[in-house]
Amino acid sequence: MRKTACRLGTAFLLLIASSPVFAKDTDDDMPPVFMMDEVVVTATRDEQKTDLVPAKVTVITREDIENSTANHVADLLATEGNLVTSSTLGNGKRTRIDIRGMGETSVSSALVLVDGIRINPSDMSGPDLTTLSLDQVERIEILHGAGSVLYGDGAVGGVVNIISRPAGGKTSFGVKAAAGSFDALDATAEARGSLKSLHLSADGNIGDINGYRENGYFSNRNLNINAALDVGEQFSLSGGFRYHEDEYGLPGSLTLDQYEQDPRQSMDETGSHGNTEENSKYLGLECDLSDYGVFTARFTSRRRDNDWMLVDTPGLIEELSRDLTLKHQWNHAFSRVANGLTLGTDIHTADYFQNASFAIKRFDVDQLGVYLLDRITLFDRWTLQGGARYYDYENANKDSGATAGWDGWVYHSGLVYQMAGGAWIDGTLFASYATSFRIPDIDEWGFSTDTLTPQQGKHIDVGTKLKFVDKIQVDVTGFYIRIQDELFFDALNYTNANYDRPTKRTGVEVAVRWYPDPRLRLWASYTYTRARFENIDLDVAMVPENKASAGINADLFAGLIAGISYNYVGMRPQGGTPTVNSTYARMPAYQVVNLKLGAKIPRLPLSAAFTINNLFDEKYYTSAYYDSVYPAPGISFRVELSYRYCWSTVNDAAMCAV
């Protein structure tokens, strides 16, 4: 570890030394890159500055994505503070996202959205992060902590909202081709533009890789089409279509001895594999009612087909889900008191079928949520926020006729104080209290005890967001979570159940961003999370106490760019029933360093990049159950070339920067 830290420090110093901080910047017109008043939509379901949100919110911008060393969305999320990813395949497919120490059931306790619509399936397979390529993503917003009032079931540890590239903008066309280790090939094409009031965009991506491990191949295809039509100044329509298909190998787990001998091997001689086909369609409208607020509506239909062959045993899942979201936002001021009120309704239904070796399941899922969120700003410094949601859920077994229904209320309250620190320091203090819930999903309810019930959580957050001389931002958040009746899989009795005692999670999240120069960006984060059972010396499975990440991005000279990122995940218990798993050795800590070098050709719409992931070939794994481990990829290389051309106007064919 000492040698790796020394190499990392050397790389950091080289990047800083070659940056414009030590070489005079001659571009006086370069725009500032430090933007403290970032506007987000995930935390309140409408536009709101991050400083005024009583929660920790992280924003990954399009610029961050282009400068990152990530090959897919899961790679990008892995370096975020207090967000831990784990995978059994190592290629983005079947990647678990864990926010604030939810552990093994994080696939159902961290909500993932695409353009505000949930992509978490009705079972425990988890959201599929490979259905969008990075080139199709405009930005990602991460809400740390409970989001049940706004988003309902599953928004326990946090919410990840992936926002796709918008329709319209400058008329442009772009292509990108990439090749890399393990026979990786990737190609992307995109086009967008506007014709008067009609705005269009289309993004397509294909990728193939043989994989780090034997039978670890992955082949995928993605297509995303969006359209928007402005009907006058106060009314607009939108629609879109997204398609994804993939084929992948299932290399399986290794024993610790097999892992030490050769982590790239697979002990499955049957060639286990699977494939997925998924498509979604949406229609939306937005109506500006002037003094009476803004009304929006959106309907989404999503189809998922997944079949597999596991050790010569077939399986199949078919799911058709539909979502209708209605929202009315009204902003009004009374004297010096500003008020923002949001009312909404979410309706979700799903037809689900599973045919596996152990069971055949046919279910109907019906979910209804009605929520209210109100924000009041007092005397320009205090912002009060409060809200509530009523939920009504029902699962029905089509074969047996059995039904299960749950309803109830969740609440949220928050307070933000804007400090008046002067010219060199500014910022806010915030505190919040919220409740959360998680409904048993189909896999849990269909194979469970008779007393299975939804879990309930209580959340307390206290933090500050500070900015110094418009160059440094420091965010510090402390959190406390207590969950009653937490859902888990009881491997001893081979059934899903509720823990008979509460779980507690306490922690501190620290994030720092420093922009000493418009061409140099440094960032770092550290999180301490303690996830334990109440009144007993037992840790929650798969939750590390320590997580740290850091990075530098620098625009060097003559169009050259460089970036380096570091990610550390501490020791954590293996997955499985905690009382059994406590006898197994903890998963070892790991640290991964990634490096990226790129070039933008001046006055031409061309760019190139060379990326090294896992620079020091760290040998590690992110998933393990009872000493069966799933190795993560070793060192890999990637080379990509991009071309993008755009027109400022119909008659002016001016080339744009890449």
Taking only the tens place, the pLDDT of each residue in 303-337 is 999 999 999 999 999 999 999 999 999 988 776 78
Helices in 193-348 by DSSP H: which ranges?
A: 256-261
Taking only the tens place, the pLDDT of each residue in 85-107 is 999 998 889 899 999 999 988 99
Most confident range, picked from 68-82, 211-225, 420-434, 591-605: 211-225
The burial class, CB within 10 Å (0-12 / 13-18 / 19+), for 118 is: buried
pLDDT band at residue 161 using 50, 70 and 90 as cut-offs: very high
**558 pLDDT above the threshold of 80:** no
Please compute, for residue 534, the number of CA atoms within 13 A of its CA located in the half-sphere on the CB side: 13
**5 pLDDT above the threshold of 80:** no
Q: How many CB atoms lie within 10 A of CB 206?
A: 15
- Give DSSP secondary structure letters for 422-438: -SSEEEEEEEEEEEEEE
Q: What is the mean pLDDT of the chain?
A: 89
Q: Is CATH 2.40.170.20 the right assignment for the domain spanning 2-647?
A: yes
Global confidence as pTM: 0.92
pLDDT band at residue 363 using 50, 70 and 90 as cut-offs: very high
Taking only the tens place, the pLDDT of each residue in 508-522 is 999 999 999 888 999
**15 pLDDT above the threshold of 60:** no
Please compute, for residue 289, the number of CA atoms within 13 A of its CA located in the half-sphere on the CB side: 12
**546's tokens:** 């320590």
Q: State how far the Cα of 640 lies from the Cα of 658, in Å rounded to an integer.
A: 13
CB 282 within 8 A of CB 300: yes
Taking only the tens place, the pLDDT of each residue in 605-625 is 899 999 999 999 999 999 999
CB 329 within 8 A of CB 340: yes
The share of the chain scoring above pLDDT 90, in percent, equals: 69
Residue 37: what pLDDT? Answer: 66
**26 pLDDT above the threshold of 80:** no
- 50 phi/psi in degrees, rounded to 5: -60, -30
**406 pLDDT above the threshold of 60:** yes
**651 pLDDT above the threshold of 90:** no
Question: What residue ranges do the domains of the chain occupy?
Answer: 2-647
Residue 212 pairs with which residues in a beta bridge? none
| DSSP strands (E only) in 311-359 | 313-334, 337-355
Q: Spell out the SS3 assignment of 99-142.
A: ECCCHHHHHHHEEEEECCEECCCCCCCCCCHHHCCHHHEEEEEE
Mean pLDDT, to the nearest integer, of 581-596?
91
